Amino acid sequence: MKTRRATAYLQPALLLLAMLFAFPFVLYAVQFGQGGLRNALPEPHYIFSDNATANIGIFTHMITGALVTLLVPLQLFPSLRAKAPRWHRWSGRIIIMSALITAVGGLIYIGLRGTIGGTAMNIGFALYGVLILIAATQTVRHARSGRISAHHDWALRLFWLALGSWLYRVHYGLWYLATGGLWSNPQFTGGFDLAQNIGFYVPYLIGVELYLARKRRPVHRHP
Ligand code: HEM
């Protein structure tokens, strides 16, 4: 009983912590995105080019991505879901729309300009975008059809994917702190850089699948 009560507090506490730590990245992404869209970046940046479509795609994706990163932890607060279902639904709609725009914007940029890290990074990031598209679509599809268990499963996948962009920076920060940047270079072709191309979402998705498989396992009770 005590353990259950402790877990009930642990989940919101961890979600709040994630929001708090991710907030500087949210601000950074909004700042970068709006500066790029207005052609008013404080310094020239390789992401900005004379390809207007690529610019609109990538800088819009930063703003909508920031919104997703900010809002997605709130969706998992059980008390908010129960006490404010209208908030849950509206915030959910905003997250889904923003996630779709984020993924499409990133994919347009990859298609038109390619990432700084070349083919391996293009593939890793494109797969990330496609997975976000799938998870966002499935989350809303199951909610609309009233399949709440499937909705929860996909929402959990979307949650970890949505935090992926922030986790990418967290991994780099911790790695540079621990190793000074071993197997990493400005061209993003070092061993660590290559692992990171999928390392910011694949391990978390595996974790989610293991968790869901465990949850689905029938509980055998002795008669
Ligand atoms: C989930 C929320 C997301 C946020 C907040 C976000 C934010 C950002 C930011 C701020 C940058 C600039 C990188 C820098 O710091 O210099 C960036 C770059 C990029 N993002 Fe995202 N992003 C998100 C999701 C995605 C998704 C889903 C895709 C995949 C389609 C994607 C593809 C890219 C690409 C291709 C770049 C440029 C990489 C390069 O060549 O430097 N992002 N993103």
Q: Which residues of 95-117 are buried (b: 16+ CB within 10 A; e: fewer)?
A: bbebbbbbbbbbbbbbeebebeb
Residue 62 has a pLDDT of 98
Residue nearest ligand 1's atom 10 by CA: 29
Rounded to whole angstroms, how far apart are CA atoms 26 and 63?
8
Atom of ligand 1 nearest to the CA of 114: 40
Substitution site in 26, 34, 62 for ligand 1 pocket (most atoms within 8 Å of beta carbon): 62
* CA distances from residue 74 to 16, 28, 70 in whole angstroms, order as listed: 8, 20, 8
Spacing, Cα 153 to ligand 1 middle (Å): 25
Instruction: List, as one string, the DSSP characters of 173-201.
Output: HHHHHHHSSTT--TTS-SHHHHHHHHHTT
For the chain, the domains span: 2-216
User: pLDDT per position in the chain (223 positions), as tens?
Assistant: 566 667 778 889 999 999 999 999 999 999 999 999 999 999 999 999 999 999 999 999 999 999 999 999 999 998 888 899 999 999 999 999 999 999 999 999 999 999 999 999 999 999 999 999 999 999 999 999 999 999 999 999 999 999 999 999 999 999 999 999 999 999 999 999 999 999 999 999 999 999 999 998 877 766 5
Identify the pLDDT of residue 40. 97
7, 54 Cβ separation under 8 angstroms: no
Please choose, from the candidates 156, 136, 131, 163, the residue with its C-alpha nearest in 3D space to the C-alpha of residue 65: 163
Residues touching ligand 1 (Cβ under 6 Å) are: 29, 32, 47, 61-62, 65-66, 68-69, 102-103, 106-107, 109-110, 115-116, 125, 128-129, 132, 162, 165
Give the model's pLDDT for residue 81: 87
Going from the Cα of 95 to the center of ligand 1, the distance in angstroms, rounded, reads 16
C-alpha to C-alpha distance for 111 and 130, rounded to whole angstroms: 13
Nearest to 22 by CA among 58, 70, 67: 70
Specify the pLDDT at position 221.
63
Q: Which of 92, 97, 100 is nearest to 71 (CA)?
A: 92
Return the residue whose CA atom lies nearest to atom 17 of ligand 1: 62
160: nearest Cα among 26, 63, 69, 82: 69
The token pair that represents 10 in the structure block: 């642990």
